[in-house]
Structure 1
């Protein structure tokens, strides 16, 4: 899928994330509240060090030392408890998210307008399920790691800005540089991450087709074609990966350079303030402890943004499944046809015109152009909606029925649809509560009993 012509930025990314992760936001909000408390309490260590230095310098007594150490221990134990709770909340989120998305995919597949995805060559849509795992792992990493870094950095910058006007200007410049680095490469990173994800799924789609028709490639000519196609999808993926890496690597290097220059500048300029008598040693040590954590967090932003771009790309892939066209809601729940009389009046669909009537119990043979039988079956099962015309069953408009009840009452023999279940389970779908004896009688009626008896697992043989 080509994304070169699409406009992809943070607005589109926010829309994908809201659609995929939005229903589970209460878990994330609670984890963020814990993160806010942890970030505030994380200042206990540098502030304690500042108080300790001032206390020892002024009193030289052990009592304040032990009191300060005890308070610090209690605060850090509280931080540990909040961190454990946040970890537990994220585990709950992963389980909830998995269950919800699997249910959503199942519902959208069952209620899709076209029941045969292979007819439109879209069976690969369900490979997007594996992007669910990426979201599962990326969200906790960003909430626990990335969000904590941002909070601790924000709190640390606010605290140190009150130490001296120099720190206020220094912190403001630091924030502007971080924003500039992020804005400079973020849009290109998102766009290239989405393109990379599409290249990954294109490769998976091709490999699935090879696995499904591997016998076709067991000749030198066909083998060469398979290898050439694999080379092509591999080259496309590598090209997309190279483009994405160009953005993400440049952004990561910029954050690392900012970390190095900011750390050196803080030490040099802070020491100069001490020499001029405008800053105490305790304040400088506390500022170094706080801002060194901020600088280290900045050096890690490249990795967390890389995780964020993967998250956005996976959310975009899952949104393709969520965008599968759905059937219209049933018009009259519980309503079924009065009889089996079928009438099509002026029905037009895909350049075909259907206009005939079949009485209940009537049997007839028709000759039609190729594909007409398929269109008729799709119309009768309401898998396709005619462009115009009227379809009635039992004298009632087909559109007014509960379509799921209608499909249970009316059988249209058009093509086999075999699901991955055992023979016993498949037969039970046609007659709930049927016993093995009844199943064997049905198989005997169609001449399959002896064939099934020769299978190693009999009725428990898996269909494919």
Structure 2
């Protein structure tokens, strides 16, 4: 093994992960010719990890029972580096899935690489530890969840909370697209309820009760069951996204914290700063409401308005008024709601930090006697928290009042206009009943959007707080590796 194989592994990993890297950094690794014996595998692994960190490719060592290793490879979505011992030396090999889903084994040789199909039999020759478990390294690219690398390096501007949230979700775009597809299907199926009611009312009001009525009722019930099944699938996908976000955030904090430039946190307490990790839990709790409830509600509104437009042209104006009202509410109240939410969170962390300091210096306060400082400072932070919480709640309750008034006006107005349209025979009685059902569903979805705005504010605040750690600049990794043959010899610096 040699350092050229390290460079090859990193380049192949970058291609598989679609990770951009600076060739100049890898050239530095390639400058110093280093050979590793079989007994120096640990040094090779260490140098591979260090070289990968420089280009933000993480190699994480692990081990697994030989019988379970093939099953793990089939389930993994990222490359894996194993070490083949078929020859006299140890040959690193990358296991990955190609575009067709076939698992391949790429042996990284001194001069040429060898590509073959991966089979369970290949595992027999892989390097194993003292427990007989296969030793391997998971490979994944490091990309900040909510921060921009350009800003970290001193270029560009910090991202806004909205852009940070979109950056977080963009990493899960494949699963989120599936959730949106399910939401569209749910929205289409949900239209079977008003359409089925319309047809049933027309049959019954006409005095016709035939087999078709029972068939319509059965279709409506099947539609409800189908919607429930799709919602279960949505919940399952969101659960996997929640797990990945927690895992990625934990690994990012573990990667960044030891590398943070000390001068950037001279006036901050590092343990208190790491408390921002708990906002990852806020993101986890908010994801189901954001990705399922809010998207389903928004799509239901659009499909409902589309269905109403087929009943009578008047309902097109209703749709325009509804969308305009929602846009104005979010435009004028949204920024203030986000600002008060961030300030509220700021003092929430100050309260926690002060309580941690009280616990840390408990002996000092016992020695000082009856000090008023703990309660005095706590009161100051709590009062500021309550101040911004009250302001934030004022924004939320204001948004809800707007919707209540709009809902009352729309419901009454549409009942009057719908009655007039039925009397003038411009729509049928069944269409009138169905349109009212659709309008009730639309207004319920609008109400849900407003009620869940607090969740949106919390998630935007969470990514802003997490960025207080992930925006901190990192130290540059570098230096010179000493050749193995010189490690046990003395040296001096002039």
Q: What TM-score comes out, normalization by structure 1 length?
A: 0.67
Within a 5 Å distance, the mapping from 1:36-185 to structure 2 comes to 36-58=184-206, 60-114=208-262, 120-185=268-333
Match of 1:279 among 427, 445, 466: 427
Structure 2 vs 1, CA of residues 47 and 207 (structure 1 numbering), >3 Å: closer, same or farther?
same
Structure 2 vs 1, CA of residues 312 and 337 (structure 1 numbering), >3 Å: closer, same or farther?
farther
Matched, 1:190 2:338: yes
Matched, 1:289 2:450: no
Task: Find the aligned partners of 2:478 and 2:236 in 1 and give their Cα distance.
Answer: 41
SS at match of 1:218: helix
Q: Which residue matches 1:265?
A: 413
Task: Find the aligned partners of 2:346 and 2:267 in 1 and give their Cα distance.
Answer: 21
Deviations 1:238-273 (A, max 9, x none): 111122122122112111221222111111111121
Q: Are the counterparts in 1 of residues 264 and 472 from structure 2 also a CA contact under 8 Å?
A: no
Within a 5 Å distance, the mapping from 1:290-439 to structure 2 comes to 290-330=438-478, 338=486, 394-395=492-493
Task: Find the aligned partners of 1:229 and 1:59 in 2 and give their Cα distance.
Answer: 76
Task: Find the aligned partners of 1:118 and 1:211 in 2 and give their Cα distance.
Answer: 22
Structure showing greater Rg = 1
Deviations 1:151-203 (A, max 9, x none): 10111011102211211112211211121111110010011111111111111
Q: Please state how far the C-alpha of 1:317 moved relative to its aligned partner.
A: 0.5
Task: Find the aligned partners of 2:215 and 2:393 in 1 and give their Cα distance.
Answer: 51
Match of 1:235 among 383, 387, 395: 383
SS at match of 2:371: helix
Q: How many residues align?
A: 336
C-alpha RMSD of matched pairs (Å): 2.5
SS at match of 1:223: coil
Task: Find the aligned partners of 1:221 and 1:336 in 2 and give their Cα distance.
Answer: 60
SS at match of 1:162: helix
Deviations 1:73-116 (A, max 9, x none): 33332222211111111111111111111111111112223399
Question: Moved runs in structure 1, 4+ residues, more than 4 A?
Answer: 115-120, 219-222, 331-341, 393-396
SS at match of 1:95: helix
Q: Please state how far the C-alpha of 1:26 moved relative to its aligned partner.
A: 2.5
Task: Find the aligned partners of 1:262 and 1:168 in 2 and give their Cα distance.
Answer: 13
Deviations 1:33-88 (A, max 9, x none): 21111111111111111122223345713211122123223333222221111111
Task: Find the aligned partners of 1:284 and 1:333 in 2 and give their Cα distance.
Answer: 80
Task: Find the aligned partners of 2:227 and 2:472 in 1 and give their Cα distance.
Answer: 45
Worse-superposed segment, 132-141 or 258-267: 258-267
Task: Find the aligned partners of 1:334 and 1:315 in 2 and give their Cα distance.
Answer: 42
Q: What TM-score comes out, normalization by structure 2 length?
A: 0.64
Q: Are the counterparts in 1 of residues 179 and 291 from structure 2 also a CA contact under 8 Å?
A: yes
Structure 2 vs 1, CA of residues 57 and 313 (structure 1 numbering), >3 Å: closer, same or farther?
same
Structure 2 vs 1, CA of residues 66 and 213 (structure 1 numbering), >3 Å: closer, same or farther?
same
Task: Find the aligned partners of 1:159 and 1:126 in 2 and give their Cα distance.
Answer: 50
Q: Which runs of 5+ in 2 are unaligned?
A: 1-158
Q: Which residue matches 1:17?
A: 165
Structure 2 vs 1, CA of residues 257 and 83 (structure 1 numbering), >3 Å: closer, same or farther?
same
SS at match of 1:327: coil
Structure 2 vs 1, CA of residues 220 and 327 (structure 1 numbering), >3 Å: closer, same or farther?
closer
Q: Which runs of 5+ in 1 are unaligned?
A: 1-10, 342-359, 361-392, 397-464
Task: Find the aligned partners of 2:190 and 2:206 in 1 and give their Cα distance.
Answer: 26
Worse-superposed segment, 312-321 or 330-339: 330-339
Matched, 1:26 2:174: yes
Q: Please state how far the C-alpha of 1:140 moved relative to its aligned partner.
A: 0.9
